[in-house]
Amino acid sequence: MTDLSSFRQESDKAPHPAETLVRHPVIFCGAGPGDPDLITVKGMRALAEADLIVYAGSLVPEAVLKWKNPRSTTVNSASLHLTEIVATLVEAHHKGQKAVRLHTGDPSLYGAIFEQMAELNKFKVPYQIIPGVTAAFAAAASLGIEFTLPEISQTLILTRMAGRTNVPQSESLAALAAHQASMAIYLSINLVDEVARVLQAAYGPDSVCAVVYRASQPEEELVWTTAADLSRTVARLGITHQALIIAGRVLAVKLDQLQSRSRLYAEDFSHGYRKGAAS
């Protein structure tokens, strides 16, 4: 295992004027929800230019690595702990290599990147972040829904149930569901019984909800159900991981039943680019 103490000592030294080695910032990159074509163009270019890619192999499909340079080194971080991940990135930086830390979805959401950045900061290793498409948006695209409909819901809550990672009491699922906003519930499919109880209490047992397994990936499954049937449906299908639970009144609105529309495209609505027709 690489000794980080040597990097710490080296980081404390002023660079020599004659030093020609270019050291690149570590890039934290969002891989998107799984479909390799849903990575951003900037993320794709970062992979193509990387000498080292440390990817979260438990969640990031290897298909996303099709954008990498064939000569680059890839490291699956699924079996690594924080110190080992940081050591790998710091070593690449000190060798003048371009290192990409590839996270699923968008790295700012349940990505645990802040703790990695804090460690890199100790070694004075600079970093940059490239955002990505989170699974909730890929799920909405597959379901053909809009999370924010006029007079139905104008708020989207991205949350999770408490598990081995605690959730503040003020952000409990019950407290958030009481708003009856649109919700995308991450990392909670293994607690679906409790999720179902909360959704039934907040939205009603007959409220429509959906489960999206591996959004945007070839194995994607879209499941429409109700809060009352949510647990039974998930158990019957054997879905135990990598699935989002979507809830909210927007799910029950059919295309031919839309009553309230955005004012933006109304014929009589004026804005900076169009004058509305006189009523």
Sign, CA torsion 104/108/111/117: positive
Q: What is the pTM of this model?
A: 0.87
Q: What is the pLDDT of residues 109-135, one digit of tens each?
A: 999 999 999 999 999 999 999 999 999
Domain count, the chain: 2
Among 82, 104, 130, identify where a domain stops.
130
Quick one: tokens of 90? 């710091």
Count of other CB atoms within 10 angstroms of residue 142: 16
Closest CA to 134 of 173, 103, 99, 178: 103
Rounded distance between C-alpha atoms, residue 48 and residue 185, angstroms = 33
Q: Write the CATH number for 122.
A: 3.40.1010.10
Does 125 share its domain with 17? yes
pLDDT > 50? residue 231:
yes
Give the residue with greater pLDDT, 264 vs 248: 248
Q: What's the chain's average pLDDT?
A: 90
Let me know the angle formed at the C-alpha of 110 by 104 and 65, rounded to the nearest 5 degrees: 10
Q: What is the pLDDT of residue 165?
A: 84
In a domain, 182, yes or no: yes
Domain that holds residue 224: 135-252
Among 108, 130, 152, identify where a domain stops.
130
Q: Write the CATH number for 195.
A: 3.30.950.10
In which element (H, E) is residue 53 found? Answer: strand 52-55
Mean pLDDT of all residues in 247-256: 88
- Banded pLDDT at 18 (limits 50, 70, 90): very low
Q: What is the pLDDT of residues 143-181, one digit of tens each?
A: 999 999 998 999 999 999 988 888 999 999 999 999 999
- Banded pLDDT at 279 (limits 50, 70, 90): low
Closest CA to 145 of 182, 176, 109: 182
Does 64 share its domain with 145? no
